[in-house]
């Protein structure tokens, strides 16, 4: 696919290029797309007189063990050089990222057991605001294995433990209350075993704030007619969601169009170290990820991406510029041992280095 003659390099935003006619046209496009009717309607529906927050909500937190090895030998006894524990899982990662970027935020998650108590303690120590739904089941424990000699990273994931009907109902009530004072909400993470596939749809039906959705499958498809502002599957998750391989960029773009045709205002697809694709009903963008200064731990970088986008939305930025901030947040998380403990000044400064361009439409719309 070829970029159109009028395609603009995103990284010039904030530079002297603002004075050029091309930059003026680009900023006009940004402003037009930022003020989409659906997004503006949701932004103005927030409860008046209440401090707005970025709300990060999800059902599958994790207490994370990180084991660092000089060398890891499969099938043999291995002794870790370092051991670290931290709050993690997509919802907690996104909440921590939003907090470290600055401004009011709130994390909403179920917590139970001794692992849940450790998470609560760490959030208190970090000063990250949280609202916790007590659960009978303990929070799952996941493990990251880092091998220094090769840079290999292995993730051992325990699935989220089932929640009772009363716990799910309490979470929904809490979400409805907190979404009323949110300027943006990130709904993120898989559903625990036994949770109805349409649970997230029921959760967000009453939300009037801009929504960033980061989950996959039938549950994602069920939310599209509610017109979420942005949905963020990675390439493999999108393939799973639509039930077909996305082995070419043309098929990827076609799949993204299925989601915008279904109601999503924007679709962002990441693919590891590869380019990110962003589409609305009328535009298509391609972004290059920032090269990290050092790759320490990539776990959670997608959650930092989601939180960075929400931060940009709350700031009133266009969606393409909010995505650039999210890309910068992801690059900053990769260089941290503990996920999503971001340096806000670095993230904001480096987002201007993100290269993105608006492409010609692959077919008439």
Question: 310-332, pLDDT tens digit by residue?
Answer: 999 999 999 999 999 999 999 99
CATH label of the domain that carries residue 242: 3.40.1190.20
Rounded to whole angstroms, the Cα distance separating 206 from 54 reads 17
DSSP, res 352? G
pLDDT band at 203 (very low <50, low <70, confident <90, very high): very high
pLDDT band at 52 (very low <50, low <70, confident <90, very high): confident
| pTM beyond 0.85, yes or no | yes
Helix/strand/coil for 200: helix
Instruction: Give Cα separations from 60 to 90, 196, 355 (angstroms).
Output: 7, 14, 33
Range of the domain at 267: 10-358
Q: Would 80 be classed as within a structural domain?
A: yes
Q: Would 48 be classed as within a structural domain?
A: yes
Q: Would 363 be classed as within a structural domain?
A: no
List the beta bridge partners of residue 193: none
Q: Would 364 be classed as within a structural domain?
A: no
Q: Is there a contact between 92 and 39 (Cβ–Cβ < 8 Å)?
A: no
pLDDT band at 292 (very low <50, low <70, confident <90, very high): confident
Question: What's the total number of domains in the chain?
Answer: 1
Q: Is there a contact between 192 and 159 (Cβ–Cβ < 8 Å)?
A: yes
pLDDT band at 196 (very low <50, low <70, confident <90, very high): very high
Give the model confidence (pLDDT) of 33-44 as tens digits: 444 434 433 443
- What's the whole-number mean pLDDT along residues 116-120? 99
Q: What value does the mean pLDDT of the chain take?
A: 88
């Amino acid at each position: 696919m070829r970029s159109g003659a009028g395609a603009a390099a995103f990284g010039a935003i904030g530079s002297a290029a603002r004075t050029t006619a091309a930059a003026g046209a680009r900023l006009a496009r940004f402003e037009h797309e930022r003020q989409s009717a659906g997004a503006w309607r949701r932004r103005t529906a927030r409860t008046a007189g209440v401090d707005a927050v970025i709300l990060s909500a999800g059902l599958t937190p994790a207490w994370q063990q990180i084991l660092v090895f000089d060398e890891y030998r499969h099938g043999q006894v291995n002794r870790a050089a370092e051991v670290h524990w931290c709050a993690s899982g997509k919802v907690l990662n996104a909440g921590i990222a939003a907090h470290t970027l600055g401004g009011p935020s709130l994390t909403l998650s179920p917590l139970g057991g001794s692992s849940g108590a450790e998470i609560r303690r760490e959030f208190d120590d970090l000063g990250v605001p949280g609202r916790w739904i007590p659960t009978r089941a303990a929070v799952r424990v996941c493990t990251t294995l880092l091998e220094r000699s090769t840079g290999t990273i292995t993730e051992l994931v325990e699935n989220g433990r089932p929640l009772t009907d009363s716990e799910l109902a309490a979470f929904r009530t809490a979400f409805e209350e907190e979404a009323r004072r949110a300027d943006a909400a990130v709904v993120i993470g898989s559903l625990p075993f036994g949770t109805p596939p349409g649970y997230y749809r029921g959760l967000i039906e009453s939300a009037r704030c801009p929504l960033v959705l980061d989950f996959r499958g039938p549950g994602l498809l069920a939310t599209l007619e509610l017109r979420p502002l942005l949905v963020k599957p990675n390439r493999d998750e999108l393939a799973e969601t639509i039930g077909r391989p996305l082995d070419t960029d043309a098929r990827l773009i076609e799949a993204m169009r299925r989601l915008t045709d279904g109601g999503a205002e924007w679709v962002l697809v990441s693919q590891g170290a590869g380019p990110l694709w962003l589409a609305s009903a009328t535009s298509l963008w391609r972004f290059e990820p920032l090269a990290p200064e050092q790759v320490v731990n990539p776990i959670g970088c997608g959650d930092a991406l989601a939180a960075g986008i929400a931060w940009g939305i709350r700031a009133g930025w266009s969606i393409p510029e909010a995505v650039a901030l999210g890309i910068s947040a992801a690059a900053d998380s990769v260089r941290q041992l503990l996920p999503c403990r971001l340096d806000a000044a670095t993230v904001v400064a480096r987002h201007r280095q993100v290269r993105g361009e608006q492409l010609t439409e692959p077919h008439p719309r």
